[in-house]
Amino acid sequence: MKNKKSQIKMFETIAILLIFFVLIGFGLIFYGRIQGQSFQEKQEEDFELKAIQTAQLVSFLPELQCSSNGVIVDDCFDILKIKALKEFIQHNPNIGNEYYFDFFGFSRITIEQIYLTPASWLIYEKTSEKTKAESSIMIPVSLYDPTLRAYNFGILTVDVYRK
């Protein structure tokens, strides 16, 4: 009789431990899914912040900014500087893309002149075959044409790609 009582107690203990581990398993699965969602949201937020950072870098790039008597004008790009940078990157793809890749990564930067005469310049473009998502940021800018000494209206578009 004592042997049967001890077997029943052992069976009860094993059943309780089994239920306990099943409950812990369900808790870990639930926690893992919640953490996975928050991790994905954090990655998305970091990607958007990187896109904003890239747009800010382009906005304050000395190679493009207007200057008057040595003073830099905010949100203004010099059209001659835009053309010169575009030609430099096109004619020296290894130097231009490697240097600017550290700043812009996988992205596409275009400046579009909208008012007076429409024009468009592709400044930088580096994509990968494995790009997944894209974040596009548009910033209105003033475009200064030093040959005509006139200001035009344009839009800076920064498309950032994620690997």
Q: What is the tens place of the pLDDT at every residue in 22-45?
A: 999 999 999 999 898 889 899 889
In 3D space, the residue among 95, 71, 76 whose CA is nearest the CA of residue 85 turns out to be: 95
Give the pairing of strands 134-145 and 71-78: parallel
Alpha carbons 37 and 132: distance in angstroms, whole number? 18
Mean pLDDT of the chain: 89
Question: Which domain range does residue 35 map to?
Answer: 3-161
> 33: which 2 tokens?
């899914």
Instruction: Give tens-digit pLDDT for 31-83.
Output: 999 898 889 899 889 999 999 999 999 988 988 998 878 788 877 999 999 99
Name the nearest CA neighbour of 64 among 160, 154, 161, 162: 154
- The answer to whether residue 142 scores a pLDDT higher than 90 is yes
The count of structural domains within the chain is 1
pTM: 0.76
Question: What pLDDT sits at residue 27?
Answer: 94
Residue 111: name the closest of 72, 58, 160 by CA: 58
Task: Give the residue-averaged pLDDT of 108-136.
Answer: 88
